[in-house]
């Protein structure tokens, strides 16, 4: 069973991935964000896709999530780790902290968020009670424990529309809603993966305290510094995940 890795902001390329082939593919839903990169990581076949394109140029609300998931499945992928840079909504999620969310709330709007819209034989409702795959989450948690980084084994991911960051009041509302981290790309990606019956989970790296939590405004330079350090750890975590099974 091939692993797929969707790289988010800070992870347009996967260091340590031995490149085998780059495939420009098309799907019934249009073109994915970038060429699929087939390679070997820790001795295992993986397919890597840069969510925002390579170079990074597609904003969260313009990502063709349907084409991305479809292309990965057509490439033989059955299990996916989605890497997401996020803001920490909960004080227990400081910059540099990892989280493997076990639930989510979707605040996005106006995105193409289902394969089940037109030309249906029957109306289809997927079960999404638990939006993330238990087996992929377990693989991630085992890897996180092994690389000895600070992480939370649970959390609620708030998917916001972006591309702007949130207001302080919006972040307060997210906290009241029970969210722990906030990002702009977790949905509809997770739901589309479920519609395709793919095993999918999220590895989130907190890169900033969400709006209004710090005295200072959110600094892109500070985010980039956390991201650069964290993405080295992401590579080690992913290598462990794929080598384990």
Report DSSP state, residue 166.
P
Q: Is residue 7 a contact residue for ligand HPA (CB under 6 A)? A: no
Where do runs of H (alpha helix) occur along the chain? 65-74, 134-147, 168-176, 189-195, 220-243
Output 198 or 206, the one with its CB closest to ligand HPA. 206
Q: Which residue has the tokens 């639930």?
A: 103
Cβ proximity of 128 and 119 under 8 Å: no
Q: Which of residues 22-51 bind ligand HPA (CB under 6 A)?
A: none
Structure tokens at 45: 């076949």
Compute the least distance from the CB of residue 220 to ligand HPA, in Å: 10
Q: Which of residues 158-187 bind ligand HPA (CB under 6 A)?
A: 160, 165-166, 182-184
Output 146 or 150, the one with its CB closest to ligand HPA. 150
Compute the least distance from the CB of residue 227 to ligand HPA, in Å: 9
Output 4 or 87, the one with its CB closest to ligand HPA. 87
x/- map, 110-129, ligand HPA, by CB under 6 A? --------------------
Contacts of 128 (CB under 8 A, 6+ apart): 191, 194
x/- map, 61-90, ligand HPA, by CB under 6 A? ------------------------xxx---
Q: Which of residues 202-241 bind ligand HPA (CB under 6 A)?
A: 207-208, 210
Strands (DSSP E) found in the chain: 2-7, 18-23, 36-41, 44-50, 77-88, 98-99, 103-106, 151-152, 156-159, 181-183, 199-209
Count interface residues toward ligand HPA (CB under 6 A). 12
């Amino acid at each position: 069973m091939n692993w797929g890795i969707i790289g988010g902001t800070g992870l347009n390329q996967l260091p340590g991935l031995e490149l085998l082939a780059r495939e420009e593919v098309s799907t019934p839903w249009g073109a994915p964000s970038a060429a699929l990169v087939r390679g070997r990581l820790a001795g295992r076949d993986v397919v890597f896709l840069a969510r925002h394109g390579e170079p990074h140029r597609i904003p969260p609300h313009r990502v063709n999530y349907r084409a991305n998931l479809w292309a990965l499945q057509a490439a033989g992928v059955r299990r996916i780790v989605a890497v997401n840079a996020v803001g920490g909504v909960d004080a227990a999620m400081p910059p540099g902290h990892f989280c493997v969310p076990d639930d989510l709330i979707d605040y996005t709007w106006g995105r193409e968020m289902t394969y089940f819209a037109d030309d249906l034989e029957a109306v289809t409702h997927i079960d999404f009670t638990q939006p993330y795959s238990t087996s992929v989450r377990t693989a991630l948690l085992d890897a996180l424990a092994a690389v000895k980084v600070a992480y939370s084994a649970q959390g609620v991911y708030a998917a916001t529309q972006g591309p702007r960051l949130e207001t302080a009041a919006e972040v307060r509302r997210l906290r009241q809603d029970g969210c722990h981290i906030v990002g702009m790309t977790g949905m509809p990606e997770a739901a589309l993966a479920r519609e395709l019956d793919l095993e999918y989970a999220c590895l989130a790296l907190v890169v900033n305290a969400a709006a209004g939590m710090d005295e200072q405004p959110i600094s892109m330079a500070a985010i980039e510094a956390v991201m650069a350090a964290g993405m080295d750890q992401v590579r080690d975590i992913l290598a462990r995940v794929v080598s384990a099974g």
